Structures are given as C-alpha cells and as structure tokens.
C-alpha cells in the first residue's frame, strides 16, 4: 500500500527527489530532473559548493548546463542544500557520492553509508532509495540491512534500488539522456517508480537485472573491460618502442578488421575515478571466495608501470642528446577538457621525473591552486615534488611531456612544436603529427623518435 501510494503520487508529481553528491554524476542528474519538472533537493556536504551553486558558479565541465541550471533555480525546482529534510510527500533519494579507493583508514563506501544514513534519518514509509555510486559487490545488500534496521520492510513499505551511473563528461555523442542504464530494484513498484523518475533522465531506458550483486558486477566489469584494454594497448606500445615501430600504425591497421576488434589508443595510463578503482571491486570479491582474478591484477600492475616507463624514456633521451635536465609536464587532469585530477598519470610522471633528479614543473589550464590539498589526497601524495607553473611556457626546459591534450592548449602545443621552441617533446598520446621542418625531437609512447637531424 505504501509503495503503491508513492507511485500514484510520483505519477501526479507530488514527490521530492533528493540527489546526494553534486559532482560529475549527481549535478547533471539533478539538473536534468529539475528542468523536467521534478522538485529536486541537490545535497552536498561541501558548504562552499552549495554557496557557489546558489551564486550560479559551476565547474568548467558543467558550463554547458549553465542555462538549464539557472532556469531550474529560478523555477524553484532545484534547491541546493547541505542536508536532507523531512517531508510529508514521498521522497526518492539518489546517492551519487564518491567512492574513493580504500586507503587503510576508510573503506570505499564511507560516503555512501553516510548519505544513506542521512536519508534514513528523515525518511518514512513509502520512500525509495536508489544508489548510483560505484560500489563493491555486496554493498547494496548491506544498505538493505541498514534500511531494515530502521524498521522498514524492503519491497513492501520501502523501496531500494541500484542503478549504477554511466556518464562520460563532455562526450558529445553519448550523454545522460541517451545512455542505457542497468538497474536492480527490490520490487515491481519500486521499478515502476524508478522508470517514472528516469523517464526524465534517459527516457526510462532501463535494463532490469535480478539481483543487486549482478548490477554491481556489471558496473565493475564495464570499467574492468576498459582497464584491461588500456593496459593491453599500453604494453603493446612499450613493445613497439623496443621494436622501433609505430603503435598507432599497428592499431590503425588492426582496425580494418570489421569484427572481433575494438581499437584503444595508447596513453600514459588509465586515471580518474572509475577505471583504476572499479576493477578492484571484482578482484577483491574474487579473493574473498578464494579466486585470483589474474587478468585484473596484471592490468592494474601494467597500468601502474606506464608512468615510470614514460619518465625513464624521457631521461634516456635527455641523456643521449645532452639536453637540459628539465621537463615541463603538460596535462594533470586525467582526461581532456575537465578539471578532474583524480589518480592522474600526469602527477605520477612528474613525481617519477623529479625522483630522477630532473628539474620538473607542471602545467594544466584547469589546475586550481586552492584545491592543492585535495589533489594530493586524490593522488596519494604527501606533497608535490614538482613545481606548478601558471602558463604554458616551454622556455628553459629540455623537454615538454604532453600527458593530456586539452582544447585550450592544442594550438599552443602545435606552435611549440612547429616553431621548435623546445628541444624535445614526448607526446604520451601521439597526437602531434611529425613535421620534418621542426628541429624539435618528437617521441611518443610506442612511436619512433624523430627530428630534423634524423634522430632515431
């Protein structure tokens, strides 16, 4: 009766959606729901972020949502707050908080459990709780226990679901509204409520699975697939280095096969929030039942070695060509055109270079000095062993190491190369095209070293 009543009220728009976590996942979700007519409370424990939102100040990667966000604020459908509130009408809580890599002090689900408990403190019969955060296998079952401990009957008077996020910031083809989603729900009524809510998100394109463990394994496996293939192509790049052939040419040629092959490009390694972390949920679960998920372990180990390999390659070329022992690392964000610096290959390369007594500096147009402590925590560092510079100035450096190609730096990087403004460029993503007129040595991960004097 309770969940049926909630479904009726959701269908008549007499409900509130509480989105916990207003980051890369939660904020676009909250805006999308709000502009579709849902009353949304966007909840984040960071009071500075809430104040920024109230002042219409958004993260760079959310600027395309500025107009929709402003409209949702003016309409009163989006209310940024630091904590949930009690309500007489049904509440649907959606948890989109970070799940960091465990550090020995806190487990990955610390923020998830905090958000769940905060929701439950203000919840009532008929409410629904949906997890979107990436979590280790078994977490949703533990959340169900927390709900039951509050005296609710899950699937009868309280709904629980897990709909793992799928989002790729700034992807112009696959956006929130057209990405299919996997979902587990505790009962049919909760599934119907979820379909109504997600009709505003992705037109209710939901693939329902039989258990929370299946949904959790799906999310971990998706990013395991990416990690394994990224690690595979990067190890191929190392082999191509040693063979003196181009990894890009190998990949391009292999891509002519119309079946059974999906191209991945070489890079300094997988970074960010999901790819380095989510596969550990599968491998840890395997260990708990006495199994070694060796392909994940190998991929993680390969991925961790690539930044060191890049740094050592740079050192070798600097020494061989008697170049100044100074490097500027360009690109600290883990992917193009966003300000996310979590588990970044750029930080790892810079640290490895500094550990070889190379004078190391770094530049990223999205770097915010006010967030330096946050960056250190996200990259497992106590302090920076390299200098952050405020502009892309390659003067007085022996090498420019390009880890990330941002749109903001694309033209300047091309100019530095064509005008030979630095003796040596190491392009981790092989995006610069060889120019025989340039006097700059150009080397990429898995590509030939080339310069106007024929250096190989």
CB within 8 Å of 285: residues ≥ 6 apart: 136, 137, 138, 217
| H or E segment and range at residue 372 | helix 372-378
Quick one: DSSP state of residue 409? H
- Output Rg (C-alpha) for the chain, integer angstroms: 24
Torsion of CA 362, 440, 397, 369, to 10 degrees: -20
User: Catalytic: 401?
Assistant: no
Tokens for 348?
Answer: 């790892």
The catalytic residue among 41, 96, 274, 401 is 274
Find, among 31, 13, 119, 30, the residue nearest to 71 by Cα.
31
Tokens for 438?
Answer: 């340039």
Cross-strand bridge partners of residue 40: 17, 78
The residue whose two tokens read 């961790």 is: 304
Chain centroid, CA 94 distance in Å = 19
The residue whose two tokens read 């329902």 is: 208
CB–CB of 356/311 below 8 Å?
yes
CB within 8 Å of 329: residues ≥ 6 apart: 346, 349, 350, 353, 360, 361, 362, 363, 386, 401, 403
Separation of alpha carbons 233 and 264, rounded Å: 7
- Active-site positions read 274
């Amino acid at each position: 009766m309770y969940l049926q009543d909630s479904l009726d009220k959701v269908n008549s728009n007499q409900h509130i959606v509480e989105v916990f976590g207003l980051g890369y996942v939660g904020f676009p979700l909250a805006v999308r729901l709000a502009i579709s007519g849902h009353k949304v409370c966007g909840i984040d424990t960071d009071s500075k972020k809430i104040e920024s939102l109230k002042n219409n100040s958004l993260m760079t990667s959310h600027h395309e949502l500025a107009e929709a966000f402003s409209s949702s604020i003016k309409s009163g459908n989006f209310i940024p707050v630091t904590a949930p509130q009690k309500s007489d009408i049904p509440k649907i809580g959606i948890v989109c908080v970070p799940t960091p890599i465990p550090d020995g002090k806190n487990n990955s689900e610390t923020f998830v459990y905090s958000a769940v408990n905060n929701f439950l403190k203000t919840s009532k019969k008929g409410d629904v709780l949906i997890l979107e955060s990436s979590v280790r296998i078994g977490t949703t079952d533990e959340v169900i226990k927390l709900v039951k401990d509050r005296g609710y009957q899950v699937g009868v008077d309280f709904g629980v679901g897990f709909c793992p996020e799928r989002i790729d910031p700034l992807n112009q083809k696959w956006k929130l509204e057209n990405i299919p989603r996997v979902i587990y729900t505790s009962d049919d009524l909760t599934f119907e409520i979820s379909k109504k809510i997600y009709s505003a998100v992705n037109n209710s394109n939901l693939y329902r699975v039989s258990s929370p463990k299946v949904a959790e394994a799906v999310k971990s496996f998706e990013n395991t697939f990416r990690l394994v293939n990224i690690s595979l192509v990067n190890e191929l790049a190392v082999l191509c280095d040693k063979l003196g052939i181009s990894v890009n040419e190998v990949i391009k040629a292999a891509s002519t096969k119309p079946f059974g092959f999906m191209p991945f490009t070489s890079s300094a390694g997988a970074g960010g929030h999901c790819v380095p972390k989510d596969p550990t949920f599968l491998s840890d679960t395997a260990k708990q039942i006495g199994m070694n998920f060796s392909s994940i372990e190998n991929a993680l180990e390969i991925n961790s070695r690539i930044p060191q390999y890049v740094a050592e390659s740079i050192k070798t070329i600097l020494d061989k060509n008697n170049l100044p022992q100074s490097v500027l690392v360009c690109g600290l964000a883990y992917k193009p055109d966003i300000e996310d610096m979590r588990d970044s290959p750029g930080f790892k390369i810079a640290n490895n270079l500094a550990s070889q007594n190379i004078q190391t500096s770094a530049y990223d147009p999205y770097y915010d000095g006010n967030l330096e402590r946050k960056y250190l925590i996200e990259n497992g560092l106590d302090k920076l062993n390299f200098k952050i510079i405020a502009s892309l100035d390659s003067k007085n450096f022996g090498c420019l190491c390009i880890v990330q190609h941002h749109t903001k730096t694309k033209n300047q990087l091309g100019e530095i190369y064509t005008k030979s403004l630095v003796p040596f460029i190491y392009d981790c993503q092989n995006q610069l095209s060889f120019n025989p007129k340039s006097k700059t040595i150009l080397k990429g991960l898995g590509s030939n070293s080339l310069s106007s004097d024929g250096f190989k």
